[in-house]
Amino acid sequence: MSNSGDGLEQEPDDLPSARPRKRATGRATIADVARLAAVSPMTVSRTLKDPTLVTQELRDRVMAAVAELGYVPNLAAQTLASARSNIIGVIVPSISNSVFVETLAGIRDCVSVAGYQVIIGETLYSADQERQLLSTHLGRAIDGVLVTGIDLHKDVREGFARRNTPLVHMMDLSPDPDALSVGFSQFAAGEAVGRYIVERGYKRPALLAAQLDPRTMKRREGFQHALEEAGQSSFVEILTPNPSSVGLGGQLLSRLLGAHPDCDVVFCGNDDIALGALFECQRRGIPVPGKLAIMGFNDLPFAQYAVPSITSVTTPRYEIGFQAAHMLLRQIDGIAPERNCIDLGFHLTCRESA
């Protein structure tokens, strides 16, 4: 027979004319382990999944064989056979936005102990992109999804529901009682800033915001609402859909000062904008907060170290990621959550800049 040496199998020495094994990857399979340990493949599978199902003796033999062969389970095969991928998808607007970094850390810390892997998808703040990502995720047969924000097209949500793929929203609280969400009220956070500004006696507030995602806009609404409630109905605002950055913060502040040089406080949509605004003030010699107060949002790590330190709204980003992931995993395991909506709150951290 001409087909010798094709399958590189040394042990199985009977049947010299063994079938040619059409396609083999060359890596050790569960069958190889089983053969070496002289047990059935099922016993190997059980040993690896739940050792208590197997007697000590067989377990030891299997583990030895696994070690000897350097066996690594083929996850695609596991997924196909068990209809569980042990992958969860995470949709964030942008990983370059430091805000999500801690959320991702929380997610990772929660799911990694449970043996799950994470696939991150970036929407770059585009709803279309988000749609497409979620569709790809369905192809991967992921076990669940964490989505930033609560503004998901209803049909997409229903698509997941129909397929029984759990989905948890992060960062904001969903008004839909059926939706699972972990976060804090973006509206209330904006409101808190507005109230603070009123309390402190600032008279001519301004709002600078970039990357106008739904959460930013909700904070804006809350901000507006608080001012109106205090009878201070008007405020200046400069908005741009561009992605936020320190540089952009400087530009926005310049535009603001050009149009309204008499502002006495700016609420910046996030800390990057706030830092950029602060730098611009320094460059122009404008005293902060003496002449112009600055407030940020999220309380990124640098906010407390800036000079002056930046007053900002501290958000539980790590905790949101962790709890959302936790809720998702429980949902995957079919455990209903106690509450569908977990509010982790926020608090305004008062520092030197306002």
| Residue numbers at the binding site for DNA (CB under 7 A) | 19, 21-25, 27, 29-31, 39-43, 45-46, 48-49, 53-55, 57-58, 71, 73-74, 77-78, 80-84
Q: Which residue has the tokens 């980003």?
A: 317
Query: What is d(CA 276, CA 250) in angstroms, rounded to the nearest whole number?
Result: 5
Residue 247 in contact with a copy of itself, rule: CB under 8 A: yes
Q: Which is nearer to DNA, 114 or 230 (CB)?
A: 114
**Least Cβ distance, residue 46 to DNA (angstroms):** 6
Residue 245 in contact with a copy of itself, rule: CB under 8 A: yes
Q: Which is nearer to DNA, 61 or 215 (CB)?
A: 61
Query: What is d(CA 15, CA 7) in angstroms, rounded to the nearest whole number?
Result: 13
Residue 242 in contact with a copy of itself, rule: CB under 8 A: no
The one-letter amino acid code at 170 reads M
Give the H/E segment covering residue 88.
Answer: strand 87-92
Residues 6+ apart with CB under 8 A from 148: 91, 92, 93, 100, 103, 123, 169, 170, 171
Residue 75 in contact with a copy of itself, rule: CB under 8 A: yes
Residue 339 in contact with a copy of itself, rule: CB under 8 A: no
**Least Cβ distance, residue 20 to DNA (angstroms):** 8
Indicate which of a copy of itself, DNA, none lies near residue 21 (CB less than 5 to 8 Å, by partner kind). Answer: DNA
Phi, psi for residue 260 in degrees, rounded to 5: -140, 75
Indicate which of DNA, a copy of itself, none lies near residue 350 (CB less than 5 to 8 Å, by partner kind). Answer: none
Nearest to residue 98, comparing CAs of 250, 267, 300? 300
What residues does 209 pair with on adjacent strands?
Answer: 239
Q: Where are the alpha helices (DSSP H) in the chain?
A: 30-37, 41-49, 56-69, 75-82, 98-112, 127-139, 154-162, 186-199, 214-229, 246-259, 271-284, 317-332
Integer Rg of the chain from CA? 28
CB count, 10 Å around CB of 349?
15
Among 168, 173, 207, 275, binds a copy of itself (CB under 8 A): 275
Indicate which of DNA, a copy of itself, none lies near residue 319 (CB less than 5 to 8 Å, by partner kind). Answer: none
Candidates 29-37, 71-79, 175-183, 217-225; binding stretch for a copy of itself (CB under 8 A): 71-79
**Least Cβ distance, residue 318 to a copy of itself (angstroms):** 11
Nearest to residue 65, comparing CAs of 35, 98, 96, 100? 35
Residue 29 in contact with a copy of itself, rule: CB under 8 A: no
Residue 80 in contact with a copy of itself, rule: CB under 8 A: yes
**Least Cβ distance, residue 282 to a copy of itself (angstroms):** 4
Nearest to residue 238, comparing CAs of 207, 278, 272, 205? 207
Indicate which of DNA, a copy of itself, none lies near residue 1 (CB less than 5 to 8 Å, by partner kind). Answer: none
Going by the DSSP 8-state scheme, the letter that residue 170 receives in this structure is E
Q: Token pair for residue 142?
A: 């992921």
Residues at the contact surface with a copy of itself, assessed by CB under 8 A: 23, 25-27, 72-77, 79-80, 83, 85, 95-96, 98, 101-102, 104-105, 108, 117-120, 122, 135-136, 138-141, 163, 245-247, 249-250, 272, 275-276, 279-280, 282-283, 301-302, 304-307
